[in-house]
Amino acid sequence: MYSLRVPGVFDCVPGFWELNMNQPYDNNTCFVLKDLSRPWQVVRTKARHEKKLADECIEIEIPCFLPLRAHQNRKNGRIFKSEIPMFPGYMFVRCTLDEKQELFRTGRVAGFLEVNDQDGLRDDLLQIKKVIELSAPVKPHPFAKVGTWVRIKNGPFQGLEGLIVSKRTGYRFVVNVRMIKRAVAVDVDAEFLELA
């Protein structure tokens, strides 16, 4: 199965496929879907099955979102580049109960986390999506519990909200995904920040 990969979008229409580093599997219907019978679900995948499960979701037309990040590995003096899940062991889908059973039958699902705050998860994922679409150098970061809540007032990340954590060489803007207690971070200059 092939599908065209537009920046920030992994389209579920069979026919084309092209690999773009640092772009999520996302058939773009997750964020615009108005159907309340398909709520957000957090899928806990079996180890190293995230991308295969995303491919299967696209094949059976289940809206999914799997944020990826670039990864380099050195072996025998050679550098290998690949994409790995930003949150290993997790992906996000919008599915009905029947589709949930269909995902279980793939053998790639360890379990589901029920999402009580649908809007909160959607907002967190939209921020992650925006950071990825801008091809920012994103780093995994521990879930931030302490920090100053800020909004980025200008620049490519304008409008994003999150915690700011200071480091020796500047500031790190942290975007939390509260549902799974994971986060990513991007380095920013203080001049772009304002208190939210």
Q: pLDDT digits over 20-48, tens only?
A: 344 566 656 778 777 788 999 999 999 99
Centre a 10 Å sphere on the Cβ of residue 137 and count the other Cβ atoms it contains: 11
Whether residue 143 lies inside any domain: the answer is yes
How far is it, in rounded angstroms, from Cα 62 to Cα 154? 35
Q: Are residues 91 and 14 in the same domain?
A: yes
Q: Are residues 104 and 144 in the same domain?
A: no
pLDDT at 181 over 70: yes
91-112 pLDDT, tens per residue? 999 999 999 999 999 999 999 9
How far is it, in rounded angstroms, from Cα 193 to Cα 161? 10
Share above pLDDT 70 across residues of the chain, in percent, rounded to a whole number: 86
| Helix locations, 134-189, DSSP H | none
How do 193-195 and 9-10 pair as beta strands?
unpaired
> Against a cut of 0.75, is the pTM above it?
yes
Whether residue 123 lies inside any domain: the answer is no
How far is it, in rounded angstroms, from Cα 109 to Cα 6? 27
How would residue 1 be classed by pLDDT, with cut points 50, 70 and 90? very low
Place of tokens 């790639």: 108
- The pLDDT value recorded for residue 100 is 96
CATH number (domain holding residue 59): 3.30.70
**Domain of 59, in residue numbers:** 1-115
- The pLDDT value recorded for residue 94 is 94
Q: Are residues 82 and 159 in the same domain?
A: no
Domain count, the chain: 2
- The pLDDT value recorded for residue 86 is 93
How far is it, in rounded angstroms, from Cα 54 to Cα 40? 15
Whether residue 56 lies inside any domain: the answer is yes
Structure tokens belonging to residue 67? 């944020």
43-92 pLDDT, tens per residue? 999 999 999 999 999 999 999 999 998 889 999 999 999 989 999 999 99
Q: Which residues of 109-119 are buried (b: 16+ CB within 10 A; e: fewer)?
A: beeeeebeeee
Centre a 10 Å sphere on the Cβ of residue 120 and count the other Cβ atoms it contains: 14
- The pLDDT value recorded for residue 24 is 63
| Helix locations, the chain, DSSP H | 50-59, 97-104, 118-133
